[in-house]
Amino acid sequence: MTGNIPNILTRPFKAFRQSPWALSSALPSRIDPSLLIEEENSPYYEPAYFYPARIGEILNDRYQIATKLGHGSRSSVWRWSNERYVALKINSNNSHARKTASSVELEVMRYITRANRQHEGWRFVRKLLDSFSVQGISGSHVCLVFEPLRESLGKYCQRWQDRVMPPEIFKIILQEILQALDYLHTECHIIHTDLKPDNIMVRLEDRELLSQNARDEFENPLPQKHCNDGRIIYLSRKEYGPLKDIIGLIEVVDFDLAVQGDGDILQDGCIQAEVYRAPEVILDRGYAYSADIWSLGVMLWDFLEGRTLFESVDPRTADFYDDETHLSYITSLLGPAPKDFVRRGKRTPMFYTAAGTLKKEDLIPSDFSFESTISKFDGEEKRMFISFVNRMIKWKPEERSTAKELLQDPWLHNDYPQI
């Protein structure tokens, strides 16, 4: 199951006893049917299993689709109205496993929403407003309703000079992320498993942006692709323009792949986007809450340096992702892996000798370290930052600090701005 699935901003006209909007009379231009666009470019796209949502369509006698916000590997994303906007995620249903995952996700979201509203981190995770099912050509689709958000934290960073967020602002946002993780780990007993910049969203600073966006699509619709089977593929309208205000409030989102943490029992399986993947996951030795902590530690470079920590294995910049190279760079960063750590991995023989050393030690770079990868800090600030990330990026999962412990780190509170 993948992250970004349809968000449809809609109007709950039934709740407000309003009539739905009429269909727009504006005629959109047509896109060449031979061109692949939007979700059609996803390797998981299968038309029969995606719900064929249409702008103007009313779902569950309550929500009217207004604009498309985007798409994911197994879904598409939409929006509507000036009374209230919501984001509607429509899951695809291309397999029994997918349908089961949709049901699990629904239960996870219900629990996250109600577990403990008094916890500070509750404010910084996405909450479920409503859920229902719609019938498509290949069966039922689970729909989840959320508050709409502005953009991912990764995109938000691009608004700053050199794609780097000022540390004094990021430290506040990082505390919100840690509060969210503490809530998930300690109150909900949930491991996110897919923490990355795209799965941390920034809240809207002005809800009028939603009205303007819907109005634009109604009056001047974007080009559409009309397929031979009757489907319409819409272009996404998800750009809200320049920030009107910097509110710095985030929510951790996309719990499609979240799993239950269960005491000292480790979870199995391959999780996390490759460049944020923890070593215990690479070696398949089981993972726990601390896998999320590793991902967050690696992500700090995205926000504070404008690039990923492990650029050499990042599929966005490298030719391909390679586990062996990734382990080599981790080794350069942290030193050789503890033998008792690698010994327990199911995939260990692929990368390590019987003596516990990497089979291809020549892949280990000689000039890769925390110090060499940090250019935006120097002096005491740099020393404190490295001390902070050293608490998250460790070989042994049990040695990583928890989110609650990290919230007390002095680097987070160094030169804390007066608001």
Catalytic residues: 194
Output the CA torsion sign for 173, 204, 2, 131: positive
Give φ, ψ of 22 to 5 degrees: -70, 160
Q: Do 400 and 293 touch, CB atoms closer than 8 A?
A: yes
CA atoms within 13 A on the CB side of 215: 7
Q: Return d(Cα 323, Cα 282) in angstroms, integer.
A: 7
CA 32, 36, 39, 44 torsion-angle sign: positive
Backbone CA torsion sign across 140, 141, 142, 147 = negative
Asked if residues 394 and 400 have their Cβ atoms less than 8 Å apart, the reply is yes
- Residue 243 CA to residue 249 CA, distance in Å, equals 13
Q: Are 167 and 245 in contact (CB under 8 A)?
A: no
Spatial distance between the Cα atoms of 285 and 269, rounded to a whole number of angstroms = 9
Terminal alpha carbon distance of the chain: 41
Cα gap 65→143, rounded to integer Å: 13
Residues 6+ apart with CB under 8 A from 298: 275, 276, 308, 309, 310, 393
d(CA 212, CA 408): 41
What b/e string do you get for 308-334 counting C-beta neighbours within 10 Å, with b at 16 or more? Answer: bbbbbbbeeebeebebebbbbbbbbbb
What pairs with residue 361 in β-bridges?
none
Residues 6+ apart with CB under 8 A from 219: 24, 26
Question: What is the gyration radius of the CA atoms in the chain, in angstroms?
Answer: 23
